[in-house]
Amino acid sequence: MTTQEKLKQYRDWIFKCSAYRMALNIIDIDKQTVAPSAGAAFRDERSSYLAGELFSLETDPEIIALLKELKDDPEVDAEDKRAVQLYYKSVMDTMCIPKEEYVAYRKLCNEAFDAWILAKSKADYSIFEPYLKQVIESQKKLYGYRDSKLSVYNQMLDDFEPGMTEEKYDAFFAALKERLVPLIRKVTAAKQIREDFLHLEYPVEEQKKFMNELLTYLHFDPSWGYQNESEHPFTSSTCENDCRTTTKYIPNSVVSAIFSTVHEVGHAYYEHDVDPKYDGTILSEGISSGMHESQSRLCENYLARTEAFWRYHYPKLKAQFPKQLGDVSLEDFLKAVNASKPSFIRTEADELTYPLHVLIRYEIEKGLFNGTISTEGLDKTWNAKYKEYLGVDVPNAKVGILQDVHWSDGSFGYFPTYALGTAFANDQAPDLSFAQQILGMGEPGDVLLAISTSGNSKNVLYAIQMAHVRSMKVIALTGRTGGRIAERNLADIAIRVPSDETYRIQEYHLPVYHMLCIAAENEFFGA
C-alpha cells in the first residue's frame, strides 16, 4: 500500500470516529440542557453502547498498525505526522483497557451525573458520594492498564495539560498561596465595597433579554453559535461552525449569568477560531486545557470587568432593571463587579480569590488519588479548606462540594488548568497586542483599519474580533483572496486588491491609504 493509500484509509477512519464523537457530544449536550430526566436510564445505556462502538473503532488492531507505519513514514507531511503521533499515543493509552470495563465506566459516569443533579437539588452529598467513590475507583483501575511510570493523578494532569505534574503544580500553587492568603485576609479586614444591589431580585426573563443583546454585542453569531441553559455552564462544539454554550440564571445575582456567558463565549471563540481544515480531527482540540481556559478567563476578567465594557452596557442593564439599579451610578456598579470578597462559588469568584477555589479542588483531587483523603466525609473536608483558605463557613453542600459538575464525569486533573489559564491570560501574548489596544481605546462607532496582505495575520484577526466586541466598524485591506477575513466575513468593508504577491499587494495598498485619508479629510474639514 502506498503512503497516499494509507492516508486515505487513515482519513476515512478519522471521519468515522468523528461521526460517533459528534453523536455522543450532542447526546451529552441534550442530557445537560433539555432532555427529560425520566428518560435518563434509557439514554445512558444507549450512549454507553455508542461509546463502546467508538472504543472498538479507535482500538482496531489494523488501525493501530496503520498509525504506527504512518508516524514513521518520511512521505507524511509535518501536520499529518503530528496528528498521527497524537492519535497513536491516545490509542496506545486505551487499547489495553478491556472494552467491557470501558463501557461500564462510561455508563457509570452517566449515572453519576444524574446522581449529582439530584444531590445538588437536595443539597445532599450522601446521594452523590457512592457514585463519586465508584468513579474514582474505576479511574484508578483504567489508568492502571496504561504503560506509564507516572502515578494515576499525574497521568490525569498530563492528559489535560501536557507536561504538568503534581510537583510543578505544587510549586505553582505554593507561590499563589504564599501571596494570596495573607492578601485576601487584609482585603477582607478592610472597609467593604457596597454590592447589595447586585443581589436583589432580578427576574430571569428580563435577564434573558439583556443576555440576548450581550450575545449580539459579542458577535456570538447564531449561524455558528447557540446558547442554552444548564445546571453548570459549559461549552461544547462539534466543529468550528457548531459551538454550543450554556449559562445559568440566578434570580438574586444579576452578574452571575453575565460573567458565565462571557466566559463561555471566550471558549466558543477558541473553538470557532480553529482552522476548519482540522474539523473532526485531534488537532481541533487546541493546545491544552490551560490555553483554552486562558481565553475564557481573558474575556471574563479583562473584558467583562472593565470600565470600557460597562460604559457601553450599564445604561442598557439599568434600563432593563430601573427599580434595582435606578440609584446606582456607573462608578458604584464598577466597584461592585470588581470587589474582592471571599465567597463559596468558584464561577462567581473575583480575580483575587478565584485561584484559591481552584487550589482547594486540586488539593482534594490529589488526596483522593493518593489515598490521603476519602470520599466519605469529603463535604466536611471541603468545608474545612474553605474555612482555612477563604475564611468562610460553607452553609450547605449545594454551594459547597456539589457546586461543580466535573467530578461526575471523571474530569480529575482539569481544575488546575483554570488557575493556569488565569495566569496565562494575565500575560500579554504578542498576537493580542493590537486587540488589547482596541480594548483599552476603542469606542462604539469607531473604525478599525485592518491591514493584512494575506488576510490571515493572527494579530490582525484578534484585533478585528475585539473591534466587533467594542461595536466598532472594520475596514480590511487584503490581497486578492482576502484569507480568513474574507472567508468569515469579518470586515464591514473588505478591499481586496488584485494580486497574490506580498510586495505587489503592499504597492496597491498605498493609493488606497491615500484615498481613505482624502475621504476622511473631506468629511471632517470639507473639500
Whether 281 is in a domain gets the answer yes
18 and 100 share one domain: yes
What is the average per-residue pLDDT within 371-384?
A: 97
Which of 284, 304, 338 is where one domain is finished? Answer: 338
Task: Work out whether strand 242-247 and strand 235-239 pair parallel, antiparallel, or are unpaired.
Answer: antiparallel
CA distance 270 to 293: 9
* Whether residue 327 sits in one domain with residue 211: yes
Q: Is the pLDDT higher at 84 or at 298? A: 84
Within 10 angstroms of residue 224's Cβ, the number of other Cβ atoms is 16
Average pLDDT over residues 350-370: 95
Contacts of 525 (CB under 8 A, 6+ apart): none
- The average confidence (pLDDT) of the chain is 92
Judge if 205 and 316 occupy the same domain.
yes
Q: What is the pLDDT of residue 397?
A: 97
Beta bridge partners of 454: none
User: Do 324 and 453 reside in the same domain of the chain?
Assistant: no
Q: Give the pLDDT of residue 510.
A: 87
Averaged pLDDT, 354-370: 96
Q: Residue 138: which pLDDT band, with cuts at 50, 70 and 90? A: very high
435 in any annotated domain? yes
Residue 405 lies inside a defined structural domain of this protein: no
In a domain, 380, yes or no: no
Catalytic residues: 264
pLDDT recorded at residue 287: 78
User: Are 273 and 332 in a shared domain?
Assistant: yes
All cell numbers assigned to 513 = 491609504
Q: Are strands 235-239 and 493-496 parallel, antiparallel or unpaired?
A: unpaired
* pLDDT at residue 381 tops 80: yes
The verdict on 455 and 328 lying in the same domain is: no
- pTM for the model stands at 0.81
Question: In terms of domains, do 99 and 11 share one?
Answer: yes
Let me know whether 108 and 244 are in one domain: no
Residue at which a domain ends, from 115, 131, 150: 150
Neighbours of 26 (CB within 10 A): 14
What's residue 194's pLDDT?
93
Digit-coded pLDDT (tens) for 258-313 = 999 999 999 999 899 888 899 999 999 877 898 889 889 888 988 899 888 899 99
Assess whether 217 and 92 both reside in one domain: no
Locate 29 and state its grid cell.
Answer: 449536550
CB atoms within 10 A of CB 334: 17
Q: What pLDDT, on the 0 to 100 scale, is given for residue 518? A: 86
Q: What is the CATH number of the domain that holds 437?
A: 3.40.50.10490
Distance in angstroms (rounded) separating the CA atoms of residues 523 and 527: 8
Contacts of 408 (CB under 8 A, 6+ apart): 109, 112, 113, 115, 116, 128, 131, 132, 135
- Residue pair 129/397 in contact (Cβ under 8 Å)? The answer is no
370 domain-assigned: no
Q: Which of 303, 214, 290, 306 is nearest to 254 (CA)?
A: 214
Lowest mean pLDDT, pick from 297-301, 320-324, 365-369: 297-301
Examine residue 167 and state whether it is found in any structural domain, yes or no. no
> Which structural domain, as residue segments, surrounds residue 220?
194-338
Q: Rounded to whole angstroms, how far apart are CA atoms 152 and 143?
A: 6
- How many domains is the chain built from? 3
Q: What percent of the chain is modeled with pLDDT above 90?
A: 74
Task: Say if residue 322 is in the same domain as residue 436.
Answer: no
pLDDT digits (tens, 9 = 90+) for 185-219: 899 899 889 999 999 999 999 999 999 999 998 98
Q: What is the mean pLDDT of residues 126-132?
A: 98
8 shares its domain with 144: yes
Segment 505-515 shows an average pLDDT of 87
Q: Could you report the per-residue pLDDT of 423-479, keeping only the tens digit for each? A: 877 665 567 768 877 876 788 889 999 999 999 998 899 899 888 877 899 999 999
N-terminal to C-terminal alpha carbon distance within the chain: 71
448 with 513, same domain: the answer is yes
Pairing of strands 242-247, 225-229: parallel
Query: What pLDDT is attached to residue 440?
Result: 67
Q: Which of 126, 150, 174 is the last residue of a domain?
A: 150
Structure confidence at residue 525 (pLDDT): 82
Residue 170 lies in a domain: no
Give the tens place of pLDDT for each residue, 35-73: 999 999 999 999 999 999 999 999 999 999 999 999 999
Written as one string, the DSSP assignment of 197-216 is GGGS---HHHHHHHHHHHHH
